[in-house]
Amino acid sequence: MPDNATPKTPTPKNDLTFEKGLERLEKIVQELERGELPLERSLELFEEGMKLSGNCRKQLEEAENKVELLVKRAGKIVAEPFAPNEEEPPA
C-alpha cells in the first residue's frame, strides 16, 4: 500500500463528550503501552491523544468555571463562584 493510502488517525472532534474523549484517550494509552505498533502509527496515536487531552482539559476548565458553591450566610443561601485552591470558609 502506498504511503499516501495509509489510513490516518481521525482527528478528535470538539463535539465529543468528556466521557467519550476520555474513553478514547484510555484506549490510545493502552495501545501505546503494548508497544507493538510501528513508529508512524504510534506517533499518529500520540498526536490524537494530545489533542484529546487538550479537549478534555478544556471541558473540565469550562465545567469548573460553571460550578458554584452554595454557602449559608445569615440564614440565606448565597451562591459563590467555585475557587478550587481556596480553603473552605468557616462555618
Dihedral angle sign, alpha carbons of residues 31, 28, 38, 2: positive
Is 89 part of a structural domain of the chain?
A: no
The domain tally of the chain equals 1
Is 60 part of a structural domain of the chain?
A: yes
Total-model pTM: 0.61
CATH code for position 32: 1.10.287
Is 88 part of a structural domain of the chain?
A: no
* For residues 23-38, average pLDDT: 96
Q: So what's the pLDDT on residue 58? A: 95
Q: Is the pLDDT of residue 4 over 90?
A: no
Rounded to 5 degrees, φ, ψ at 53 are -60, -45
Q: How far apart are CA 18 and CA 62, in angstroms?
A: 11
Confidence bin at 3 (pLDDT 50/70/90): very low
Give tens-digit pLDDT for 63-82: 877 775 555 556 676 667 77
Cell matching residue 54: 487538550
How distant is the alpha carbon of residue 48 from its chain centre? 12
Range of the domain at 25: 3-81
Is 44 part of a structural domain of the chain?
A: yes
Please give the span between the terminal C-alpha atoms of the chain, in angstroms, as a whole number: 68
Residues composing the chain:
91
Q: So what's the pLDDT on residue 5? A: 42
What residue has cell string 482527528?
11
